[in-house]
Structure 1
Amino acid sequence: MIRAVLGPFYCKGKESIPTRLFLMVPLTSAILNHVIKIETAKGKGTAFFMRYERQNFLVTAKHLACATQPGDNILCLTFENDVYSEAVDIEHGTDETDISVIKLGNPFYPWEMSSPIVPETGQLLLGQEVVIAGFPLGLEPRHETLFGNKPMPLIKGGIFSGMLERSFEGAASRTKHPQYFLDVHNNKGFSGGPVFATSKNRNTRTTDVHVVAMVSEYFYDRPLGGEATTSNLKPNSGFTVAIPIGKAVEAVKTLLTKSCP
């Protein structure tokens, strides 16, 4: 089940920007089990467990976790019975980076962690297919066979459109950092969710799924003036803004350094 589309090469002189044959991203229930719905003091959103150095860390958007401190409880809403788990330690991204990494106490995973979400910090290629997962608009679909009747994340697919240098909206500093722009129509509630992509494993000749970014926000159309609109929502341009997963890896390394005696 492979859909392949041959992308063009955009040439400037003798230079070319690489594109690729992009594939369906084969997400399994074992992978999606790592994506959960959370509630913090700032509201509800999405988070996911990422494996690094044989440990699992909860990754989410900083605008959801910015009020969370070590010792606070995080409510995980995706199980038959809501579960509170203590944030033993937390590392927020810099002022300009909308990402937080949390180390939870007393792991409560009610599933087999046989297919951990592994970060891939390599650069995406233009036109590469990506998938986001999360719990938008308060929706909680359930599938008894695949998910044991606990809420299952919704997924949306698109392509990697490019990378821009921008500052996080709401940051005190206007320092600019890399952000991925995805041609995926985002909705409220996907914030903090993973962005998945695939790579070919040359040793096993299989398709591996990696987390490459975290959903941060959607990009608003800019107001042009003129007649007043009757809409009570900001216009969604259709672009999802995502934070490269390397920022989460940096935060995890800081946590591990702090925990060393």
Structure 2
Amino acid sequence: MIDIRKAFLSGLTGILLTCSAFAQETVTSNMLMRVFAIQNGSNHATAFAIDVDNRQYLVTAKHAMPGTTDTAQIKIFHEEKWKDISVKVMRSDEADIAVLCPPVQIAPALPVLLKGDHYLGQDVFFLGFPYMLHTNLTVPDNRGFVIPFVKKGALSAWFKEGNSRYPTIFVDGINNPGFSGAPIVVMNPKREAIIIGIISGYRQSQDPVTNRGIDTGLISLANSGIIVCGDIKYALDEIKKKPEGAQIQQEKK
């Protein structure tokens, strides 16, 4: 005879475990509200806000901020249109990472971690604006900024190249144009977001082009599915040199 009460409790436990696991696999609004679509000349990219010592900075890919000048006029997508914003620019000498100092705080100062444990094979999220697309999801406190696409991958590898200070991070996933500068995020068991890196690009696969099985000698450059990322520590090092971010005006919630 089936023990209905036991079966029900067993099923309920399974549901609770499933819900708990699902909760840990979603990125929080704390992170969604820190990611922005930016434009610099003809370059479209993603930037995200981090808070260090009560000052706020934007982090993006260095190749989206070409040149050597320490100031730039960029555009940020807000209220369904591009708006000009002047920023100070700090560029890493080693990594494809740039730190921007906005004149005012842009993102709410919600808790996000910039260091923490992460593991080989762990699920990671990357948030950005592929082809400058965004979701129609609205967050009441997001003040007219659009919500990014959220994509998921696996932390595949990390290793130091040459004399670099920090390892390059590799993620198994598909990176699209517009994701340059996007944050790589892991969630810890407390459901706290940890930013571990910044998307630079992807490793290209050189695939031969054939015509009815005959090699044409041509090569097609394809997305290998290996995303190349710089370590967030490079951004923090630049901030230590010039801590000139916007003063945070609101308390962390």
Name the residue aligned to 2:153.
Answer: 158
Distance 1:42 1:81, change over 3 A: closer
Distance 2:79 2:27 in 1: 20
Superposed CA RMSD: 2.8
- The answer as to whether partners of 1:194 and 1:214 remain within 8 angstroms in 2 is yes
Give the structure 2 partner of residue 41 of structure 1.
41
* Counterpart mapping for 1:209-220 below 5 A: 209-220=193-204
Equivalent residue, structure 1, for 2:92 = 93
* Deviation readout 1:147-173 (Å, 9 max, x if unpaired): 576422001111101113347xxxxxx
Corresponding residue of 2:127: 133
* CA pair 236-166 structure 1, distance change in 2 beyond 3 A: farther
How many percent of aligned residue pairs carry the same amino acid? 25
Q: Deviations over 1:18-74 (max 9, x none)?
A: xxxxx8443233321110000013511100001111111100000001237344212
Secondary structure of the structure 1 residue equivalent to 2:48: strand
Q: Is the 8 A contact 1:41 1:67 kept in 2?
A: no
Higher share in strand: 2
- Shift in alpha-carbon separation, 1:125–1:189, aligned structure 2, 3 A: same
**1:90 CA drift (Å):** 2.0
Letter in 2 for 1:178: P
> Structure 1 residues 100 and 53, CA, compared in 2 at 3 Å: closer, same or farther?
same
Distance in 2 between the 1:198 and 1:131 partners? 9
Q: Give the structure with the larger helix fraction.
A: 2
SS at match of 1:250: helix
Q: How does 1:21-100 map to 2 (within 5 A)?
A: 24-41=24-41, 43-67=43-67, 69-87=69-87, 89-94=88-93, 96-100=94-98
> Is the 2:125–2:153 Cα contact (8 Å) retained in structure 1?
yes
Superposition TM-score, scaled by structure 1 size? 0.74
When the two structures are aligned, how many residues end up with a matched partner? Answer: 220
- Runs of 5+ in structure 2 lacking a partner? 1-18, 210-214, 245-253
Q: 1:45 to 1:99 in 2, by over 3 A?
A: same
Aligned to 1:196: 185
Q: Which runs of 4+ in 1 moved over 6 A?
A: none
| Paired residues of 1:90 and 1:100 also in contact (CA < 8 A) | yes
TM-score with structure 2 setting the length: 0.76
- Measured against aligned partners, the alpha-carbon deviations of 1:223-253 in whole angstroms (never above 9, x if no partner) come to 568434585xx20111111111111111111
Distance 1:51 1:211, change over 3 A: same
Q: Is the 8 A contact 1:58 1:103 kept in 2?
A: yes
- Partner Cα separation in structure 1 for residue 76 and residue 38 of structure 2: 5
- What are the Cα deviations for residues 177-218 of structure 1, in whole angstroms up to 9, with x where unaligned? 621110111111100011110223xxxxx3211111111101
